[in-house]
A = this chain, B = another copy of it.
Amino acid sequence: MKIPVVKKVLEANERIAEENRRLFAEHGVFVINLVSGPGAGKTTLLERTIKGLKGQFRFGVIEGDIQSTVDAERVASPGVSVVQINTGGACHLDGNMIRGALDKLDLGRLDVLIVENVGNLVCPVEFDIGEHCKVMLLSVSEGDDKPLKYPLIFHESRLLLINKMDLLPYVDFNVEKSRRESLKINPHLEIIEISCKTGDGLTSWFDWLREKVGER
C-alpha cells in the first residue's frame, strides 16, 4: 500500500514561488526581496528610493511584518501601491503570502516591486518568493562579523548595501574586512556603501537598480 506524503514545506513553497515568478515575468515587473536584521534601515531605504526615483519607475511595495502597519504607513505615498502582510508570528515571508498579496496589486501598472521581508537574517533566506534577486542591507552598527555568522544570506544575495555609513566614526566596523569576508562567501556579490541619513551612495544604488530594471 502506498501512502501519500505531503510534500516538504520548502518544495511546496518553491512551486508557488515559480507561479509568482511567471506572473512577474508576464507583467515585466522587476522584483526585489529586501532582507536584513531588525533595524538595519529597510523602510528608510524604501522611502529614499521611492522619492529619489519618483517619475522614473512605478513602484509597488509589499511590507512584511509580524504585526502592525507602521512600515506600510511610512512608505505609502501618491502613486505607490503598498500592501501590508502581517505574518502573525511567522519569522519570514513565503511564496504563498506573496501570492495572496499579489491579488491586491495591479502588476500591469508596476515597473518595480520591492518586498520588505521580516527583519531577520536567518529564516527569510530559506524561502523563495519568486523574486529576481535578494538585496541585503547591513548597517555598520551591527558589526563586521556578520558574514562569518550569517553566511547564507550573503551567499544568496546579489547586492549588499552597507548602510548607516554616517555612524562609521562611532562604531567598530572594518569596511574592508566586511567586504573581504562577504566576497569570500559570495564572489559575485556586488557591494555599495550608503547612508540613508545623509544620502551618500544612494546614487550608486539608484544606478544599480536602473541597470537591473533595464535588463528585466
Interface, chain A (partner B; CB < 8 A): 37-39, 65-68, 70-71, 89, 91, 118-123, 139, 141-143, 145-146, 148-152, 164, 166-167, 170-171
Contact = CB atoms under 8 A, between A and B. Distances in A.
7 contacts: A37-B119, A66-B152, A70-B145, A70-B149, A118-B122, A120-B121, A120-B122
Given A38-B143, A91-B123, A139-B141, 15 more contacts: A37-B119, A39-B142, A39-B146, A66-B122, A66-B150, A66-B152, A70-B145, A89-B152, A91-B91, A119-B121, A120-B123, A123-B123, A141-B141, A141-B167, A167-B167
Nearest to A140: B141
- Taking the full assembly, how many copies of this chain does it contain? 2
A148 B70 CA distance: 8
Residue among A37, A39, A120, A146 having the largest count of chain B Cβ atoms under 10 Å: A39
A188 to B, nearest CB: 21
Contact of A143 (B39, B118, B121, B122): B39
A139 to B, nearest CB: 7
Nearest to A167: B170
Contacts of A65: 149
Contacts of A123: 91, 120, 122-123
Contact of A37 (B37, B145, B167): B37
Contacts of A38: 37, 121, 142-143, 146, 149-150
A90 to B, nearest CB: 8
A171 B118 CA distance: 22
